[in-house]
Amino acid sequence: MPVTRTVGLCLGASLGAAILLCSSGLHLAYGKPFMIVGSDEKVWWDDDGKTVLSAPGKDTVLIVDLANPEDPKIVATLPLKNSIVGPPVNLDIDPTGAVALVADSVDVTKDGDALKQVPDNKIYVIDLKASPPKLAATVTGGKQPSGLSISPSGKMALVANRGDNSISVLSLNGTDVKVTDTLTFPDSVAHVVFTPDGKRALAVRFPAHKVSVLDIAGDKVTYNKLDLPTGQWPYNVVVTPNGKIALTSDNGHRSGGGRRRPGRAGDVTEGRSRGRRHPARLQQQEGVFLPEERQPLDPEDRRQEGDQDPGHRGRRIA
Q: Rounded distance, CA 96 to CA 115, Å?
A: 40
Among 135, 157, 184, which residue terminates a domain?
A: 184
Closest of 234, 215, 216, 233 to residue 225, by C-alpha: 215
Is 123 part of any domain? Answer: yes
Maximum Cα–Cα distance across the chain? 68
Contact indicator for 188, 231 with CB cutoff of 8 Å = no
**Are residues 180 and 219 both part of a single domain?**
no
Q: How many CA atoms lie within 13 A of 218 on its CB side?
A: 2
Is 299 part of any domain? Answer: no
pLDDT band, very low/low/confident/very high, at 13 (cuts 50, 70, 90) = very low
Show the domain range for 288: 195-292
Q: Rounded distance, CA 201 to CA 250, Å?
A: 18
DSSP at 297: P
**Are residues 57 and 163 both part of a single domain?**
yes
**Are residues 163 and 19 both part of a single domain?**
yes
**Are residues 108 and 202 both part of a single domain?**
no
Is 297 part of any domain? Answer: no
**Are residues 164 and 23 both part of a single domain?**
yes
The CATH number of the domain where 173 resides is what? Answer: 2.130.10.10
Q: Is the pLDDT reported for residue 71 higher than 80?
A: yes
**Are residues 21 and 167 both part of a single domain?**
yes
Q: Is the pLDDT reported for residue 104 higher than 70?
A: yes
**Are residues 71 and 91 both part of a single domain?**
yes
pLDDT band, very low/low/confident/very high, at 1 (cuts 50, 70, 90) = low
Q: Rounded distance, CA 309 to CA 213, Å?
A: 36
Can you give the pLDDT at residue 124? 98
Quote the percentage of the chain above a pLDDT of 70.
Answer: 69
Q: Rounded distance, CA 26 to CA 223, Å?
A: 31
**Are residues 61 and 6 both part of a single domain?**
yes
The one-letter code for the residue type at 246 is A
**Are residues 62 and 203 both part of a single domain?**
no
The one-letter code for the residue type at 63 is I
pTM: 0.77
Q: How many CA atoms lie within 13 A of 148 on its CB side?
A: 33
Strands 234-239 and 246-250, how do they pair?
antiparallel
**Are residues 113 and 233 both part of a single domain?**
no
Q: Which pLDDT tens digit goes with each residue over 113-164?
A: 999 999 999 999 999 999 999 999 999 999 999 999 999 999 999 999 999 9
Closest of 126, 165, 173 to residue 142, by C-alpha: 165
**Are residues 248 and 209 both part of a single domain?**
yes
Q: What is the count of structural domains for the chain?
A: 2
Q: Rounded distance, CA 171 to CA 124, Å?
A: 14
Is 148 part of any domain? Answer: yes
Q: Rounded distance, CA 60 to CA 58, Å?
A: 7
Q: Rounded distance, CA 203 to CA 132, Å?
A: 34
Q: Rounded distance, CA 235 to CA 196, Å?
A: 20
**Are residues 224 and 159 both part of a single domain?**
no
Is 5 part of any domain? Answer: yes
Beta bridge partners of 236: 249
Can you give the pLDDT at residue 315? 29
Can you give the pLDDT at residue 215? 98
Is 306 part of any domain? Answer: no
> Is the omega angle on the peptide bond into residue 33 within 30 degrees of 0, that is, cis?
yes
Q: Element (H or E) spanning 167, and its range?
A: strand 166-173
